[in-house]
Structure 1
Amino acid sequence: MIKYNPKSWVTMIFALHKSDTLRILWKELIYIALLSTGIAWVEITYFPENRVLTNLNIVYSLVGFVISLLLVFRTNTAYDRWWEGRKKWGELVNDSRNLAVKIKTLNLSREDQLFFSRMISNFAVASKDHLKKEAILNNLNLTTEEIARLNQEEHIPVSIVELMYERLNQLKKAGVIQWEEYLVLDKNLNGFIDMIGACERIRNTPIPYSYSLFIKKFIFIYTGTLPIAFVGLLGYFSVAVTVLVFYVLVSMEILAEEIEDPFGLDDNDLPTDELSERIKSNISKILR
């Protein structure tokens, strides 16, 4: 995730970061400029006084308004997914701290405290890698037995929660913790499973294909034919207008595509590496 100063207008206006859509779209901007120039040349050469084509600018203004509404909905939907993902990771930070504080106040052995310290941190790291579809076990703090156990599991984060539940049940049967204390800890462990389930829903449910396909085709047809309506008013300056409109509309679609899956490696994705390290650091300090 890119960290920046939102009040620094000059820096942001002239910055050309690798995630900037201008760097992403420069080839497409050249193509649309060449297409627009060709359309403008044909219209100026063969249809110089065609009033029907000139009056099309009213229709294109209305169509442009419709596209803007579609893109607003598209961008808002993508941002809602990004923000929900951030809230779920915020809940994981809070549940991890709460669970660690509660475990610290119980009369547990040092071995049990270290076990929960490792597993809470492991869950955060495993969740981060699971959502990115990366290898998981190599980044976890596990014993040989735990590695052998988790190697057989398909869903590592849930299996880590299962290990914590097994340890809690052992402690409850041994009389180390009471039923009421078990229920208090159960609430935070349930929060872990709810969090990873919600994040998987966001990752595995992209915007419907037909909707995304329609928006892309709509933008291309609209911008590709835009010079037809404006050559009569602007001449070859309609090429610059077309390129600008194309850049704005396609940039909005690209940004929406980038943030609708907030758990990847794009520049604007959530800082899950940083959040998992923060959880690991907090838990180590609480249960040190």
Structure 2
Amino acid sequence: MITYNPKSWLGLIFHLTKSDTLTILWKELIFIFIFTLGIAFFEIHFFADAVVLEKLFAVYSILGFVLSLLLVFRTNTAYDRWWEGRRKWGELVNDSRNLAVKLTALELPAEDDAYFARHIGNFALCIKEHLRNGTKFELLNLTEEEIAFLQKLDHIPSGIVELMYKRLNDLKKAGILSEEDVLRLDRNLNGFLDCVGACERIKNTPIPYSYSMFFKKFIFTYVVTLPFAFVVNFGYYSSIIATFIFYVLVSIEILAEEIEDPFGNDDNDLPTDEMAQRIQGIVGTILDKE
């Protein structure tokens, strides 16, 4: 995720990144410009007296209004997914901090505090990688026995939570923790599983295919046929207008596609790397008894 100053207007206007839509769409923009310029030339020289073309402007005004409604829905849907992902990661940070505070208040042996600090941090790193291309064990702080246990499972984040539950159960059997203590800790551990479940739902449930396909076809058809309605009033300048409209409409679609899956490495995705490191640092500081 790019950190920026939203008040720096000029800096933002002239700043280009690899995810900037102008960088992505420049070939398509050139094609649309040349294509619409050819339509304008053909219409001016061969259909200059066509009355029906003059009436198309009103039709495209109505279609533009319909398209604007679709854009609002598309943008809101994508941003809702991005914001829900951010909210769930915020809950993960809170649950991790709260769990660490509760554990340190119980005054467990230093060995147990270190165990939970290690696995709370492991869970944050694990879910970050799990939502991308799968968990990499070399990034986690695990013993050989723990790796062997997790390799048998299909869902690594749940396995890490299971390891913490097993440790709590051992402490309960040893009389170090009471039933009430375990129940208080259980709430935060359940929050871990709820977080990964919600994030998986966001990642694995894209916008319906039919809607996405229709929206792309609608934009393309609208822009490609736009010169037929605009040449009468704007002449060759209609190619510039059509190119700009294409840039705006397709840019919104590209940005929506990028933020509707907010757990990757794109510039507009959530800073899950930084948040996972923050969780490790917070938990380590709270549970460090040295």
Calculate the TM-score normalised by the size of structure 1: 0.99
**CA deviation string 1:150-192 (max 9, x = no partner):** 1111111110000000111111111111111110000000000
Whether the aligned pair in 1 keeps the contact of 2:219 and 2:249 (CA below 8 Å) is yes
Whole-angstrom CA distance in 1 between matches of 2:192 and 2:208: 28
| Equivalent pair of 2:227/2:239 in contact (CA under 8 Å) | yes
Deviation at 1:108, TM superposition (A): 1.4
Secondary structure of 1:225's partner?
Answer: helix
For 1:197, the aligned partner's letter is: G
2:105 counterpart residue number: 105
Q: Does 1:159 align with 2:169?
A: no
Partner deviation per Cα, 1:80-121 (whole Å, 9 max, x = no partner): 000000000000000000000101011311111111010000
**CA distance in structure 2 between the aligned counterparts of 1:18 and 1:185, rounded to whole angstroms:** 44
Partner Cα separation in structure 1 for residue 78 and residue 201 of structure 2: 14
Indicate conservation of the 8 Å contact 1:96/1:120, yes or no.
yes
Matched-pair contact (CA < 8 Å) for 1:79–1:259: yes
Q: How many residues align?
A: 288
CA distance, structure 2, for counterparts of residue 17 and residue 237 of structure 1: 29
Q: Is the 8 A contact 1:21 1:254 kept in 2?
A: yes
Partners of 1:225 and 1:247 lie apart in 2 by: 15
Residues in 2 aligned to 1:62 and 1:197: alpha-carbon distance in whole angstroms: 42
Q: Quote the offset at 1:133 in angstroms.
A: 1.5
C-alpha RMSD over aligned residues: 0.7
What is the letter of the counterpart of residue 153 of structure 1?
Answer: L
**One-letter code of the match for 1:277?**
Q
CA–CA separation in structure 1 for the residues paired with 2:51 and 2:13: 39
Runs of 4+ in 1 over 3 A off after TM superposition: none
Give the alignment of 1:186-205 within 5 angstroms. Answer: 186-205=186-205
1: CA distance, partners of 2:107 / 2:179 = 14
Map of 2:86 onto structure 1? 86
Q: Deviations over 1:210-269 (max 9, x none)?
A: 000000000000000000001011100000000010000000000000000000111100
Q: How does 1:45-56 map to 2 (within 5 A)?
A: 45-56=45-56
1:248 equivalenced with 2:240 (yes/no): no
1:121 aligns with 2:141: no
Offset at 1:135?
3.8
Aligned to 1:287: 287
1 CA distance for matches of 2:21 and 2:258? 11
Extract unaligned runs of 5+ from structure 2. none
Separation of aligned partners in 1, 2:43 and 2:250: 25
Match in the other structure for 2:210:
210
Work out the CA distance in 2 between the residues paired with 1:137 and 1:102. 28
Percent identity of equivalent pairs: 64
